[in-house]
Amino acid sequence: MPEARLISPITRQAMAKSRVAAYCRVSSNSADQQSSYANQIRVYTSMIQKRRDWELVEIFADEGLSGMKAENRTEFQRMIRMCELHQIDLIITKSVSRFARNAKESLVYVRKLKLLGIGVQFEKEGIFTLALGDEMLLNTFSAIAQEESKAISQNQRLSIVKRMEDGEYVDSNAPYGFRLMNKELTVYEPEAEIVRSIFRMYLNGCSTTEIARELNNRRIQTKTGKGTWRSAKVAYILRNERYIGDCRYQKTYRDTTVPFKQYANRGQEDQFYAKGTHAPLIDQDTFGKVQSLLQKRQENFSKVATQNIYPLTSRIQCSECGSYFRRRLVSGTVKWACCRHINDRNACESSYYSEERIYDGFTAMVNKLRFGEEDILGQVISRLESAVLLYKKNNTAAREMSQSIAELNAKLLMLEQLRAKGYLAPEVHQTQSRDINNQLAKLKKERQTELDSHIIQMLDDVKHLKTILEELEDPLERFDEKLFTEVVKAISIDHNDEMTLTVIGGLRFTELI
């Protein structure tokens, strides 16, 4: 009889662990919401660490943000990007409403993750998205969460409109030159003097562009301290009635349906004008003169004949001298040529190119990218994904920041527990919580800067380009102006008749025309 002998392995295979992330969100910065936020972090950290078959990737958390638009939630978007790079196997979250209050967005992201083989586990509703039949439940709960959000929004809107009618509404966004103190607009002198000088310069004959240039030369900061002064910002200040102590309410309005898009109010909704709601910064006489001058200049400007704009206008640059191409009619044919060459043939070696040849070059490039066997964009995306994965894997600075953020969140939770038990005075709790929240905000900003590399942005852009081109079901037979405007960022043509097109993502493709 044959004899069998057991051969034990030298090393046993380790248990494969699922890489798990948790997502938390609170919609306001109130103390109760902050307590809920800290609680969610503590619960999910503990839950994941207790499972031997789970490995904690990170706790993603958005504070003080609505769940209606995913694009506004930076941590949510960062989590989705990590999923696309196959760094997460499972996401757990408290409820459908924490994940998203927009039913359409909720299903879009869940299906996207499902295609990547990543499940989402909703604790409250007991839904696991990789399980058969659970998508119907998710659809139902998402719709309920969306309706709850709509009801809350409508109730808030009615309350705001009532306060507008009574002239009691105070916008939380104070204009430049004011600060919001005890729910009242108060003049902030360091900025108020700049506003007065803007009005004086305009009445002295300066244009809004010249005023913006002067403010930038003097290194005057904008309200946010970011960006530069532009003519549109200056014009907004000159037209703003709040500088004479009045308020015009409901200059914009929102849709009553998801995703609550905002529009300029051009008569679609009632507006309310309240006088003397706060201390003025500019006197009535000065403000009236500025409005008259603005109106006069607007009327003069509107009389100027508008220039014809074509798809190629200010798009083509000469590779030889750097000048832009202009449109010309030559023997009944529309042609484009370098403006220096047009003025003096000897000044530039460039030549005239028929509009049809340029359009054909664009059409040929699009067809190669969309229908070519090489799948050029697919190869580019694959290489960029590898580069991004390597970048994130070696990014120790971002990992250390994430660890510091987790530690600060734990401190916040401890402070909240001490306050609840009466061991910590309210004013001490408030001061220490504010300091920690400031540290958290700074760390999150630094981490986002660390993660937002040029490679990641380029990958997103190239994926977007591929998505646009995949909408084409058949090869292009004629020039598509909409597609051209959407994907082409710049064009250059050299004296060898080579046209280089720069498209979304900074990719360059050359066609002989």
pLDDT block averages, 10 residues each, the chain of length 513: 64 70 71 61 81 86 63 84 90 81 73 87 81 56 53 59 65 80 83 90 86 87 77 87 84 57 64 80 89 83 60 89 89 90 87 92 90 84 81 71 80 78 77 84 77 76 89 86 91 90 90 86
| Residue 337: strand pairing partners | 326, 352
Joined together, the tokens standing for residue 448 give 């986002």
Separation of alpha carbons 94 and 111, rounded Å: 19
- What is the tens place of the pLDDT at every residue in 397-437? 777 787 788 788 878 777 777 777 777 777 877 888 888 88
485 and 503 Cβ atoms separated by less than 8 Å: no
pLDDT number for residue 67: 45
Query: In Å, how far are 58, 71, 89, 309 from 121, measured between CA atoms?
Result: 15, 21, 11, 53
Q: Tell me the pTM.
A: 0.39
Three-class secondary structure of residue 22 per DSSP: strand
Joined together, the tokens standing for residue 411 give 């401190």
198 and 238 Cβ atoms separated by less than 8 Å: yes
409 and 437 Cβ atoms separated by less than 8 Å: no
Separation of alpha carbons 392 and 372, rounded Å: 32
- What is the tens place of the pLDDT at every residue in 35-50? 566 777 778 888 888 8
pLDDT number for residue 305: 44
Question: In sequence order, which residues have a C-beta less than 8 Å from that of residue 275 and are 6 or more positions away?
Answer: 245, 246
pLDDT number for residue 1: 58
pLDDT number for residue 9: 59
Q: Where are the beta strands (DSSP E) in 108-198?
A: 119-122, 127-128, 178-181, 184-187
